[in-house]
Structure 1
Amino acid sequence: MTSSTPGDTGGTTPLDGAVVAVAGAGGPAGQATLLRLAAAGATVVAADADAARLATAVDATRAAYPGTTVTGDTVDLLDPAAARQWADRSEQEFGRVDGLVHLVGGWRGSATFAETDLGDWDALEPLLIRTVQHTSLAFDAALRRSGNGRFLLVSAAGAGRPTGGNAAYAAAKAAAEAWTLAMADGFRKDGGEAGPRAAAAVLVVKALVHDAMRAERPNAKFAGFTEVTDLAEAVTDTWNRTTADVNGQRLWLTPQP
């Protein structure tokens, strides 16, 4: 399936005919990712807890790429049963699932380590860790069946080099990374000498930036930030590489410290 709309990559891509799920699809990064996946010819299965912003993202992608199938499901990924139902329903409807892009996020922090509010951890642990656990377990079997599956987590450079005021956020991101890399080890072991049939990897950014942020702060430099469109390009690019090359990697989209 290819699109004839402006911005189409033209011709066949590795994502032609693939089915890719996007968790947290309603935010700016999600919207950019939906558009890029659709441009590459994928069927896009989007989910978000916010029905209104999910509908906006899905409608915009359908309008830009009318020949591409884009669906939207309001899913509470804090509920493991709901995550599994979403995965099962997606595979039953389309016959396969070739990717899960995990974009669920959130940030809370303080000025210094001593001022850390443990309420920040209480808020971030479900969003940044539990949702990863629930989606990875829900989609694991389908990604293995794909033969070229991807589980992609977007993380932050601060997970490996935390600052005092970001203790809760960095710790949660580090835990989510560890969980994703454990999934990658499972893919590696199951693949044996033939190599993994699916890949789990972490896309590392300092932070993300999008047009609305630039409009709100026209004089800001956003040094080292990653444009959401560049993140979306990096997501699709993982299908241009072998599963063995992607699996278990931390793929840096910002200068590595």
Structure 2
Amino acid sequence: MDDENGDPNASWWIEGSGRLDGAVIAVAGAAGPAGRATLLRLAEAGATVVGSDADPARLAEAVDAARYAHGGATVTGDTVDLLDLDATRVWAEKTEKEFGRIDGLVHLVGGWRGSATFADTDLADWDLLEKLLIRTVQHTSLAFHDGLLRSDRGRYLLISAAGASKPTAGNAAYAASKAAAEAWTLALGDAFRKAGGDEGPRSAAAILVIKALVHDAMRAERPNAKFAGFTDVTDLAEAIAGVWDRPAQDVNGKRLWLTPES
């Protein structure tokens, strides 16, 4: 697959079989465009996929699309309030109990708020983004930690933005939220490293870094837009599946760039 950004750092995810037969992978934020693409790709790879979202109607559509695109694939959906730690733990425990294992959590919960200038920043944006971009990461990582450790190929994947390491004046709340979520995920990676001892980690927490995402509906709405440096949701889904092709120690605690590193 060609990397539309022309980024040599993105070549890490091209190689590998991309097969995930027998794996059980949860996808948080499964009803959006990136979630839909990820459900489709993981189902195609042979994984059992369990999606969650706060919108039951959109989640049902996403699950049905993945299930019907790949006949025989096991794709299910649960409406989960990821701002409720207890509810998130119940989802993790239910998933592992029903399918016997849990091999991954892909965190696609997103949101954006910004301002024209730094001085115009509305701290209400921070209040919202702290919940969407940080609290949900805290809850999913804590809820799935033990199950991922029990797996022989557990992966926790956070999708982040280049702006987290190079914030701009109008994106203070967003960049700070993303940076905090990255730090939390790297701490999870350190926990996996320590649990692996001298043999190295069996499970991994990694961050996939993009500039922004683009999908077909966006292109249809803005046919003349270039979307320079954006990552297509199908390419993101391919990259997500590719993380399981690499040994845990190669990706654990790493930022994996799908856009030129800043």
TM band (smaller chain): over 0.9
SS at match of 1:201: strand
**Alpha-carbon distance in 2 for matches of 1:60, 1:40:** 15
Other-structure match for 1:89: 94
Q: CA deviation at 1:14?
A: 4.2
Q: What is the TM-score normalised by the length of structure 2?
A: 0.93
Distance in 1 (alpha carbons) for counterparts of 2:95 and 2:131: 23
Amino acid corresponding to residue 231 of structure 2 in structure 1? T
Q: Deviations over 1:16-71 (max 9, x none)?
A: 01000000000000000000000100000000000111011000011101211001
Aligned residues: 246
Q: Map residues 116-195 of structure 1 onto 2, 5 A cutoff.
A: 116-195=121-200
3-state SS of paired residue (2:115): coil
How big is the alpha-carbon RMSD for the aligned residues of Structure 1 and Structure 2? 0.8
Select the residue among 39, 42, 59 that pairs with 1:54.
Answer: 59
Q: Which residue of 1 aligns with 2:49?
A: 44
In structure 1, the gaps of 5 or more residues are: 1-11
Secondary structure of the structure 1 residue equivalent to 2:159: strand
| Alpha-carbon distance in structure 1 between the residues aligned to 2:18 and 2:120 | 50
Residue 249 (structure 1) aligns with: 254
Distance 2:261 2:129 in 1: 25
Q: Is the 8 A contact 2:18 2:241 kept in 1?
A: no
Secondary structure of the residue that 1:151 maps to in structure 2?
A: strand
CA apart distance, 1:72: 0.4
| Aligned partner of residue 218 in structure 1, secondary structure | coil
1:27 paired with 2:32, answer yes
How far apart are 1:13 and its partner, in Å? Answer: 5.3
| 2:109 is aligned with 1:113 | no
1:103 maps to which residue?
A: 108
SS in 2 for 1:148: coil
Q: Name segments (4+ residues, structure 1) moved above 3 Å.
A: none
SS for the counterpart of 2:160 is strand
Q: Secondary structure at the match of 1:250?
A: strand
User: Could you tell me how far 1:256 is from its partner in structure 2?
Assistant: 1.0
TM-score by length of 1: 0.95
Distance 1:202 1:18 in 2: 20
One of 199, 203, 209 as aligned partner of 1:198: 203
Q: Name the CA distance, whole Å, in 2 between partners of 1:36 and 1:107.
A: 25
Report if the CA contact (8 A) 2:204-2:251 is conserved: yes
Alpha-carbon separation, structure 2, partners of 1:239 and 1:70: 19
| Residue aligned with 1:89, SS | helix
Distance between the aligned counterparts of 2:174 and 2:193, measured in 1? Answer: 29
Q: Distance in 2 between matches of 1:250 and 1:14?
A: 22
Deviation at 1:76, TM superposition (A): 0.5
Tell me whether 13-22 or 164-173 shows the greater mean CA deviation. Answer: 13-22
- Contact 1:13/1:41 (8 A) holds in 2: no
DSSP-derived class of the 1:254 partner: coil
The amino acid across from 2:218 in the alignment is: M
Whether the 8 Å CA contact 2:18–2:244 is kept in 1: the answer is: no
> Kindly, what percent of the aligned residue pairs are identical?
75
